[in-house]
Chains A and B, each alone.
Chain A
Amino acid sequence: MPPLVGVAPGVVTLKINGVDCSARDDQTVLEVAREQNIHIPTLCHLEGLESVGGCRLCLVEIQGMRGLVAACVTKVTEGMEVQTSTPQIEAYRKMIVQMLFTERNHVCSVCVSNGHCELQDLAVEMGITHVEIPYLFPKCELDASHPRFVLDHNRCVLCQRCVRVCDEIEGAHVWDNQGRGIHCRVVTGLDEPWITSDTCTSCGKCVHVCPTGALFEKGRSAGEMAKKAPQLPYLQNIRKGAARG
C-alpha cells in the first residue's frame, strides 16, 4: 500500500546555502541553484548539452561528502545540504581560472573575443587582476583550413562544448579530444586539418558555443567575435523527438 502521507515520488527537499528548496530527483545541484537564483560560476556547462564536469568551476560543498563536487553533474538527493561559496571554494575557483590563463596564450588585447569572452568574464567576476602562477607560454597551433572558421589552440580552455554540440546536436561528430593533461587538444577528424572533414556541415554551432576566442569566424578582428549561442535546449528537444519518431 502506498504511504498515505509523505513526499511525492521523485521529489526531494534540500538546502542550498541554508535556503530550503524542493526539486525533482533527476535535477542537478546546478539546475536547482539556478532556479533559486543562487549563482554558481560555470564554464564547460551549457544548457542544452550533456554536462561533463570538466572545468570544475562549479565546485560546491555537500555536507557528509568527502571533497568538493561539481554541481553540474551532481544529482540532488533528499536532505542534501549544499554550500556554493566558502573561502576554500572561492580560492579553488580563482586558482582554476588562473591556471586556464597560464596553460595557453591569452592575449586579450588582440583577441577576436576581447570583451565577449566567458574566461575574461570569470576573471572579472572573481576579481582576478593578475595571475599568480607562472605563465607557460606554450607553442600552440592554429587551423585556418576551413573556409569560414578558424581554430586557435592558443585560446582553448578544453571545455569540450564544440565536441558535444557537434556530436549531440548537429550529429556530425567532427571533434574529439586527443592527449592528456597539459598536452590535451581538441582535434577535428583524426587530428586532420578541419577542411578534410567529410562530416562537417559548416553549421557553425561549434564556433558559437565556444566560450572563448578559440573558435571564430574568418574576417573577424580584435574584439569583433561576439558569439550567438544557438537555442540548444530547443534543438535538443527536437532531436529527442526525432529519435522517438
Chain B
Amino acid sequence: MSKAKVATIWLDGCSGCHMSFLDIDERLLELAQHIDLVYSPLVDAKVFPDMVDVALVEGAVASEEDLAKILKVREHSKILVAFGDCAVTANVSGMRNPVGKEACLQHAYVDLATFNPGPPTSVVPKLLDKVRPVHEVVKVDVYVPGCPPSADAIFAVVSELLAGRIPDAAGLTRFGA
C-alpha cells in the first residue's frame, strides 16, 4: 500500500498543536508506516507539493503571508483539517480583533518601544485587518478543536483519515480542551 502524503502547516498559532502531535509518542512509529510527511515545520521541504492527501493546518489566518499560504494549501490538498482552536475559532490569535489592527500595532511597536518606534515595514508579513478562522477563508473538511487538541484526539482523527474515513471530532475534543 502506498503511503498517504501528509502535510502540516502553521499559520498564526503557537506551535502547541504541533507539539501535541508529537505527544502521540510511540504511536508515531505506527503512523510513520502509513504516512509520508512531505511538508511540515518538522521536516526540511521548502516547497508545498503538488497534491497531498491530508493537510493539518494549525493557526488562524492573520497576515498576508498566512492568506497566501492557506490558499495554496487548499488548492493542493485533498483533505484540509482545521487543527486546533486557532484554526477553528481564531482563539487567542483573534483576540486582537475587537481592538483593531492599528491599535494593536500602535501599542506593540510605538507605546512599548524603547527605540525605533513604529510598526515594521519589511521582512515581517503585513497583518490582515481581521484574524479569521480557516473556514471563513477556505473550505475546511475536518475540524479538530482544542488548545491544543489532546494527543489521543489527534491520533484518533489521523487514524480515521488514514483508514479513508472523514472523522467527526465531536466527543473527542472541544473548544478550549
Contacts from A to B (Cβ < 8 Å): 101, 105-111, 114-115, 120, 123-124, 127-131, 134-135, 137-140, 154
Contacts and interface: CB of A to CB of B under 8 A. Distances in A.
Interface string B69-112: 00000000000001001001111101101110000000000000
Interface residues of B, number: 29
A32 B39 CA distance: 57
A107 B95 contact: yes
Nearest to A119: B175
A120 B176 contact: yes
Interface of B: 82, 85, 88-92, 94-95, 97-99, 130, 133, 135-136, 140, 143-145, 147, 168-171, 173-176
Q: Which of A106, A109, A115, A120 has most B Cβ within 10 Å?
A: A109
B92 A110 contact: yes
Nearest to A140: B98
Given A108-B175, A111-B176, A137-B130, A131 B144 contact: no
A109 B144 CA distance: 14
B92 to A, nearest CB: 6
B7 to A, nearest CB: 21
B98 A106 contact: no
A129 B170 contact: yes
Contact of A130 (B94, B98, B145, B147): B145
Contacts of B92: 107, 109-110
18 contacts: A105-B94, A107-B91, A107-B92, A109-B85, A109-B176, A111-B176, A115-B176, A120-B175, A127-B170, A127-B171, A128-B170, A129-B143, A130-B140, A130-B143, A134-B136, A137-B90, A137-B97, A139-B98
Given A106-B175, A124-B171, A135-B133, 10 more contacts: A105-B98, A106-B89, A107-B94, A107-B95, A108-B91, A108-B147, A108-B175, A130-B133, A137-B130, A140-B98
B147 A137 contact: no
A169 to B, nearest CB: 30
A114 B176 contact: yes
Question: Which A-B residue pairs are the 5 nearest by beta carbons?
Answer: A108-B176, A109-B147, A137-B97, A127-B170, A130-B143
Nearest to B130: A137
B98 to A, nearest CB: 4
A130 B169 CA distance: 10
B145 A129 contact: yes
A138 B168 contact: no
A134 B89 CA distance: 10
B89 A130 contact: yes
Given A107-B95, A120-B174, A139-B98, A130 B90 contact: no
B94 A135 contact: yes
A176 B15 CA distance: 43
Contacts of A134: 136
Contacts of B88: 129-130
